[in-house]
Structure 1
């Protein structure tokens, strides 16, 4: 009898469409996993459709998205590997803390409650959404210039513009407001159960040139797990920006994730 295939659930963050995970899904399928990359609640099936209907995802909050993926995970035949980027990384941490998932990988994860560093580059990256309080209830799109600063700063302008054209979509601003206010809100939706000792192993990944989630933020996130005996690891990619899951070097990151999963026996 053939052993069941381990599912892998890919969770994207703000401003990227779920289709941005396609190269990862192909690689994970070849590596023996059963991958899926569901979009956020209401997210249209294509980049073009998402750009034409920004209101489809407007006003979604962190818990809305987390609950959406939690239901998807519960309907799977086996506990999956969870792999998230940016706010998808934060959601991965939340789901793993809830005991969902065999293991989690949070790549350049948005800051969770308890993380204090707030570098200037991160503030500037969030300004397209946070700069107008009325955006709380809206979906916001990036310009090419904004994408280059927040995602493509470690790339050539040509590659950054190509990725912008291929994958960017309007995204709800609410999660950014929730994360920014997390340390001032008692029951913040950006809170994660970092003390859960029975959760699956977690790998945090940072790019040292990331403007949107600077390395210092990911290192501070790693420290939030210091009181848990569950496996938690941190991996840095030197000179990589927030685009590290979709740019020309994506496979270096994906191969590292696969090696780590094998080391965990998953």
Structure 2
């Protein structure tokens, strides 16, 4: 198994909260995407915050074999980190990482809570892809180029419209897009079509399903479809794009997650006591 990069930020002072957080990134990036804002922000508020880079991503091993990795490989990466922690973590997954988290939850029902941010639906990306092709054909074309020819074949300014809302400063958006990387062809095929019998998490695990009003990749309709399958209600954040953790209003997202976790885990701990 390739080595897995794990970025960790710990509270600087005072005791840490009982449950650690484990962040799982989406396609074409790495654990660094969480360390721009989220990891230090949550650490300042008492959370031990971890973000892994899936095999072939970031500083993890296996880049030379990236093209052949599948969903089961990424699930195993998260499980290897999850099982190495002293306490079962809260899982937080974005985009493709959201589907990885869904599969991990099915394997680890003792997970205390989970957050899905602009997550790939359990049934796959077919509907999202058709919507993108119809509503944003230029972005769809750029995404197809990146999927087939790699990150060097696309225009960072154009492809950034897939990731961010129009509120993101252009220079900042381009900077982030130049940090992106290639993705496994196998997993794009696995999750890009229709999954008729999706793996669903246990309904005993509290899950916050979040989406973005101006998400051009996972539109609010697909976020709501995910929430329905998981027997919960979706929260759609106004004015934001797909890259919730990097948007100018990223702190709004972080505060909502922090408040939800405080209420969810606090209630569970009181009940257990």
The answer on whether the counterparts of 1:13 and 1:89 sit within 8 Å (CA) in structure 2 is: yes
1:61 and 1:175 in contact (8 A); partners too: yes
The Cα of 1:146 is off from its aligned counterpart by: 4.3
Q: Which residue of 2 aligns with 1:69?
A: 78
- Contact 1:73/1:100, CA 8 A, preserved across alignment: no
In 1, Cα distance between the equivalents of 2:93 and 2:59?
Answer: 19
Q: 1:71 to 1:147 in 2, by over 3 A?
A: same
Two-structure CA RMSD over aligned residues (Å): 2.9
CA gap of 1:132–1:197, structure 2 versus 1, over 3 A, is closer
1:102 and 2:112 are equivalent in the alignment: yes
Match in the other structure for 2:218: 213
1:8 corresponds in structure 2 to 21
| Corresponding pairs, count | 244
State the Cα distance separating 1:75 from its structure 2 match: 1.4
Q: After alignment, is 24-33 or 139-148 more displaced?
A: 139-148
Equivalent of 2:59 in 32, 40, 45: 45
TM-score of the superposed pair, with normalisation by structure 1: 0.80
1:34-60 residue CA offsets vs partner (Å, 9 max, x unmatched): 1111100133429xxx9xx95352221
With over 3 angstroms needed to count, the CA separation of the structure-2 counterparts of 1:122 and 1:222, relative to structure 1, is same
- Any idea what the Cα deviations from partners look like across 1:132-156, whole Å, max 9, x if unmatched? 99x4xx8656530442221124334
Give SS of 2:195's match: helix
Deviation at 1:78, TM superposition (A): 0.5
Deviations 1:42-91 (A, max 9, x none): 33429xxx9xx953522211111011101210111011011111111111
Q: Confirm or deny: 8 A CA contact 2:103 2:199 kept in the other structure.
A: yes
Tell me, which stretches of 5 or more residues in structure 1 are unaligned? 227-231
Q: 1:244 to 1:128 in 2, by over 3 A?
A: same
| Shift, 1:242, TM fit | 0.8
Structure showing greater relative contact order (alpha-carbon pairs closer than 8 Å, 6 or more residues apart): 1
Unaligned runs of 5+ in 2: 1-14, 267-273
1:249 match? 249
Q: TM-score, normalised by structure 2?
A: 0.78
Q: Measure the CA separation in 2 of the matches of 1:120 and 1:69.
A: 30
Q: Per-residue deviation at 1:17?
A: 2.2
Structure 2 vs 1, CA of residues 77 and 157 (structure 1 numbering), >3 Å: closer, same or farther? same
Corresponding residue for residue 192 of structure 2: 180
